[in-house]
Amino acid sequence: MPRIACLQISASETAEEAAELAVGLAKLALDKGASVLCLPEYCGGLQTSGTQFSPPVFAEEIHPLVMKMQDFATRFKVWILVGSVAVVGPDERYYNRSLLIDDKGEVIARYDKLHLFDVNLGGENRFSESDTVCPGKNAVIVNTPFGTLGLSICYDLRFAGLYHTLALAGATILTIPAAFTKATGEAHWHVLNTARAIETGSYVVAPCMIGPVSGGGETYGHSLIIDPWGRILADGGTDVGVVVADINPKLSGETRKMIPNLTNGKSFSVINVNITKEGVRHAI
């Protein structure tokens, strides 16, 4: 069975520093027998500036972390999910892009984050990702020897319809690289990832950054690998490091046969019932 690793890294100020950290953890993942390595969101470097994210931005083909991971994949014959890096966009904004690198070092799939993190949690916990990030336009799945991946990034996790669509399109492994904030992570990270696995009958692989971010903010960690039945196979906790789990490519199909909610869903309309002051109920 394929062994997947989540590489739980901390935020680096530069892409070069991020690349060196990623290589070090990638070697640890190899020591644990992993053949698929997954990095978190903004693994190519991250800082914050006020309410905005401020990662190092490069053209994809010259991004230091991407090039390091391509070289690593080629040398050691492993697949690598670059959770996301900041890639030059069509205007002053950049794309928050996830890339899948095969065991020959080729980028075979790209996904630009659809849902941008514009939230106000109170106090200093305000973020406006759309100020600097250009949103993607398409959902993406990719066939691999170890299963069909449905790609997503961080805040996408809150939009169940995306994962339903990916699963219906054939995805059996949902990748959810993240830099989830500590505040939202403590409240929602485990339950949302587990829900996405259960409601789609899919594996969830969710590498998450850990620790403080230069400029303000803190990420949650607890990188997760969850099976289609909702069982947590690995949890990265709160330290930099690597967690691994073996996946069974047949389990998603078996689970969906037992609980076929993807195909049992119904189309329906909504009846709006109003109550007047006189107490008369009107269905509209």
Kindly list the catalytic residues.
Answer: 41, 113, 154
Burial class (CB in 10 A: 0-12, 13-18, 19+), 235: middle
Task: Say which DSSP state 186 is in.
Answer: I
Contact 55, 13 (CB under 8 A): no
The torsion of the CA quartet 9, 13, 19, 24, rounded to 10 degrees, works out to -40
Residue 53: strand, helix, or coil? strand
Secondary structure (DSSP) of 108-137: EEEEE-SS--EEE-STT-EEEGGGTB----
Task: Say which DSSP state 208 is in.
Answer: B
Contact 226, 232 (CB under 8 A): yes
Cα separation of 156 and 113, whole Å? 8
| Token pair listed for 104 | 């020959």
Q: Please list the helix, strand and coil fractions of the chain in percent, rounded to the nearest 5, in that order.
A: 30, 30, 40
Secondary structure (DSSP) of 221-262: ---EEE-TTS-EEEE-TTSSEEEEEE--TTHHHHHHHHS-HH
